[in-house]
């Protein structure tokens, strides 16, 4: 029979044992005691002497004479224990801080470990949550307190894992990646805000220029409207006269109308009017021409020319009103109050950039470069504020444009640094995945072989066999936990397309097997599930070996010309397709298996949704979700293949 696989051993940092011994003095009660389970194991068991027995007897008699003390209510005792744990957590945080400062020069790795643990404790508000749990216990809110305490236990377990982490360098890099991504998100918001401020400054410049053009063209338009009004009055006056030379007067009026029409056409071609829709000047061209034609027809009644002249005069007046309204709107947009609003907005953006510059020092070399860029961008923003304060949009826009260029470049540089770190993490994770999957495959084979060995004994109701099955269930739970941890790392590092789906599906299968083993189910179905997980782990291991840790080429890019890079990308596609084929085959088997559990398995008459049991419905929904994930994964791979 296969022996139990040993966990993968890694060298621990020097001095870690002493560090944990110091910290354990301040750990919350049960957690601290769990660190030293051998305490008192080797104490000498001295036989009791007769004298000691006699003294004990006398003490028992005295104790019997004393009245019984009132029992402490269970709620108060639990509340006191929780309060004590909160006090010890306070001491633990203080010790972690003091030790991290003391070990900074002597043991940098342990100092980093302590700072990372302290950061997690404060970000997750563990101490505050302990105090809240104490209040809930004191107020007899037991259900809520239970939820809080379970969450606290999970956080404390993670805190212990951070302190005991053997892959601290990987964890620190992962924390650095999170910080870079958070910084990139903040930088994107700053860039967005600065782009908005620059857009308004450019809008203000356009409005000022438009206002100047409108002011320059208003006299021309006003002159046209005035001339047309005078011409209309003269036409009406001529129509009322009974003497004089009407022919010469009509010709003079026609020439004046033609001149007004020509001037209106020229003015309508100016961008100030032509870009404004609708343009009233274009509408005035038609009645002006009609009026000129009527005035040129000798012997015709002048009333025929008055109507189009009136229409043209009204249009020109409307255009003049529209021009004045546009000028007023432009003046409102350029009011000092508007500049004040955007000065305040620019100041807010600058302060955000300064705050990010102060926080970016934690990012190492990339953070130092970002800090310098943010300081330069902040200087340009400050100059823009001063220009906005004196309503000078042109120089403000120039400073904002310079700040935006600096911010955009710094964002690109930080994204490249984050990508470089991401590739390093994927490379380490790739090695870890191969090692973990190999160990998990061996562990799954061990569980399967022992399940097969216990099956005959369980048939005879063997108690030791049932206990052995409980142990196998715990080992399966450990495998599921390792799978879920790998899934979290794979998702965070964006490693692979189908790999997260595979780990998610395998984790679900392991949890299913865990439940079966817990119920001492060693049936052929359980063994078959274990064997399939075993085979799936081996198949995924073979696919992961071919999966490169580098980031795929960008969209719409052909395959690399370099043969080694081309081979690497082809290996990536092969690994992804192998993983999807493995998952699709498994999904097909699961679908067939679930279909056989229906009350009416006939394809022609499937069981309606209302008759499905809750467990069967959950299984079908899980299959549906997996199939949707596989479809999306395959669509992404197909898109990448088409682009290449």
pLDDT for res 378: 93
CA 388 to CA 337: how far, in whole Å?
Answer: 11
Q: Is the pLDDT of residue 620 over 50?
A: yes
CB burial of 274-297 (b: ≥16 within 10 Å; e: otherwise) equals eebeebbbbbbbebbbbbbbbbbe
Question: For the segment 196-207, what is each residue's pLDDT rounded down to a tens digit?
Answer: 999 999 999 998
Q: Is the pLDDT of residue 560 over 80?
A: no
- Residue 547, classified by CB atoms within 10 Å of its CB into exposed (0-12), middle (13-18) or buried (19+), is buried
- Specify whether the backbone of 68 is left (phi greater than 0), alpha (psi in -120 to 50) or beta: beta
At 17, the pLDDT band (50, 70, 90 cuts) reads very low
Give the other-Cβ count within 10 Å of 346's Cβ. Answer: 30
Domain boundaries, the chain: 74-164, 205-334, 415-549+561-596+613-643
What do you get for the CA distance between the two ends of the chain, in Å? 50
pLDDT for res 151: 83
Q: Is the pLDDT of residue 642 over 70?
A: no
CA 121 to CA 146: how far, in whole Å?
Answer: 20
More confident site: 177 or 80: 177
Across the chain, how many H-helices and E-strands are there? Answer: 20, 0
Average pLDDT estimate for 349-374: 89
Average pLDDT estimate for 562-587: 87
Return the C-alpha torsion angle 552, 558, 561, 565, nearest 10.
Answer: 20
CA 120 to CA 478: how far, in whole Å?
Answer: 24
Q: Is the peptide bond before 278 cis (omega within 30 degrees of 0)?
A: yes
Q: Is the pLDDT of residue 155 over 50?
A: yes
Q: Is the pLDDT of residue 331 over 60?
A: yes
Phi, psi of 560 (to 5 degrees): -60, 150
Question: For the segment 475-509, what is each residue's pLDDT rounded down to a tens digit?
Answer: 999 999 999 999 999 999 999 999 999 999 999 99
The answer to whether residues 86 and 127 touch, using CB atoms and an 8 Å cutoff, is yes
Nearest to 115 by CA among 337, 335, 362, 288: 362
CA 468 to CA 14: how far, in whole Å?
Answer: 37
CATH tag for 205-334 (out of 1.10.10, 2.40.160, 3.40.50, 1.20.120):
1.20.120
More confident site: 27 or 619: 619
- Residue 26, classified by CB atoms within 10 Å of its CB into exposed (0-12), middle (13-18) or buried (19+), is middle
CA 637 to CA 615: how far, in whole Å?
Answer: 33
Question: For the segment 92-112, what is each residue's pLDDT rounded down to a tens digit?
Answer: 888 888 888 888 777 776 777
Mean of pLDDT over the chain: 81
Nearest to 404 by CA among 140, 146, 199, 141: 199
pLDDT for res 73: 61
pLDDT for res 408: 95
Question: For the segment 287-305, what is each residue's pLDDT rounded down to a tens digit?
Answer: 888 888 888 877 677 778 8
At 195, the pLDDT band (50, 70, 90 cuts) reads very high
Provide the 8-state DSSP code for 42.
Answer: T
Separation in Å, CA 629 to CA 192, 249, 468, 497, 642: 33, 87, 37, 10, 20
The answer to whether residues 323 and 218 touch, using CB atoms and an 8 Å cutoff, is yes
Quick one: what percent of the chain has pLDDT higher than 90? 37
| CA atoms within 13 Å, Cβ hemisphere of 41 | 4
pLDDT for res 523: 92
pLDDT for res 545: 92
Question: For the segment 206-231, what is each residue's pLDDT rounded down to a tens digit?
Answer: 989 888 888 888 898 899 889 989 98
CA 492 to CA 181: how far, in whole Å?
Answer: 11
């Amino acid at each position: 029979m296969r022996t139990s696989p040993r966990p993968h051993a890694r060298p621990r940092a020097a001095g870690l044992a002493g560090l944990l011994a110091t910290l354990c003095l301040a750990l919350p009660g049960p957690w601290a005691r769990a660190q030293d389970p051998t305490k008192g194991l080797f104490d000498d068991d001295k036989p009791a002497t007769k004298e000691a027995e006699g003294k004990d007897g006398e003490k028992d008699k005295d104790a019997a004479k004393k009245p019984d003390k009132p029992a402490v209510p269970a709620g108060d005792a639990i509340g006191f224990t929780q309060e004590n744990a909160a006090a010890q957590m306070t001491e633990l945080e203080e010790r972690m801080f003091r030790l991290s400062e003391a070990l900074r020069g002597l043991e940098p790795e342990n100092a980093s470990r302590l700072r990372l643990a302290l950061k997690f404790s404060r970000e997750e508000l563990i101490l505050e949550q302990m105090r809240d749990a104490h209040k809930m216990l004191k107020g007899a809110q037991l259900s809520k307190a239970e939820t809080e305490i379970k969450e606290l236990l999970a956080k404390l377990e993670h805190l212990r894992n951070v302190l005991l982490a053997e892959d601290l360098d990987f964890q620190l890099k992962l924390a650095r990646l999170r910080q870079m991504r958070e910084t990139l998100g903040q930088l994107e918001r700053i860039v967005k805000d600065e782009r908005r401020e620059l857009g308004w400054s450019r809008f203000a410049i356009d409005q000022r220029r438009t206002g100047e053009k409108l002011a320059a063209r208003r006299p021309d338009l006003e002159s046209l409207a005035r001339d047309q009004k005078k011409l209309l009055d003269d036409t009406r006056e001529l129509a009322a006269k009974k003497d004089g030379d009407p022919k010469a007067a009509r010709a003079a009026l026609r020439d004046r109308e033609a001149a007004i029409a020509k001037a209106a056409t020229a003015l309508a071609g100016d961008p100030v009017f032509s870009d404004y829709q609708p343009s009233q000047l274009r509408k005035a061209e038609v009645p002006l021409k009609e009026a000129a034609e009527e005035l040129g027809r000798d012997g015709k009644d002048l009333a025929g020319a008055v109507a189009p002249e009136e229409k043209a005069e009204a249009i020109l007046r409307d255009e003049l009103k529209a021009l004045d309204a546009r000028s007023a709107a432009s003046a409102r947009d350029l009011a000092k109050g508007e500049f004040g609003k955007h000065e305040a907005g620019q100041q807010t953006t600058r302060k955000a950039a300064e705050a990010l510059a102060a926080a970016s020092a934690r990012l190492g070399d990339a953070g130092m470069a970002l800090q310098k860029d943010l300081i330069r961008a902040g200087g340009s923003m400050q100059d823009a504020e001063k220009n906005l304060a004196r309503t000078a949009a042109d120089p403000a826009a120039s400073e904002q444009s310079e700040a935006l260029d600096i911010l955009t470049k710094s964002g690109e540089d930080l994204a490249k640094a984050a990508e470089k770190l991401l590739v390093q993490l994927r490379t380490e994770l790739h090695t870890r995945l191969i090692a973990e999957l190999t160990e998990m495959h061996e562990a799954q084979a061990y569980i399967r072989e022992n399940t097969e060995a216990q099956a005959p004994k369980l048939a005879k109701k063997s108690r030791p066999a049932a206990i052995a099955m409980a142990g196998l269930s715990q080992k399966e739970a450990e495998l599921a936990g390792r799978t879920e941890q790998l899934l979290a790392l794979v998702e965070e590092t964006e490693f692979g397309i189908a790999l997260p789906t595979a780990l998610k599906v395998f984790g679900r299968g392991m949890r299913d097997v865990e439940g079966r083993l817990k119920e001492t189910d060693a049936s052929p179905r359980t063994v078959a599930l274990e064997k399939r997980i075993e085979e799936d782990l081996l198949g995924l291991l073979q696919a992961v070996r071919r999966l490169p840790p580098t980031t795929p080429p960008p969209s719409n890019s052909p395959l690399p010309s370099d043969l080694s890079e081309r081979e690497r990308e082809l290996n990536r596609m092969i690994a992804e397709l192998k993983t999807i084929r493995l998952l699709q085959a498994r999904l097909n088997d699961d679908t067939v298996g679930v279909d056989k559990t229906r009350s009416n398995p006939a394809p022609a008459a499937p069981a309606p949704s209302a008759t499905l049991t809750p467990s069967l419905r959950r299984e079908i929904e899980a299959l549906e979700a997996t199939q949707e994930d596989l479809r999306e994964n395959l669509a992404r791979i197909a898109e990448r293949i088409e682009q290449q």
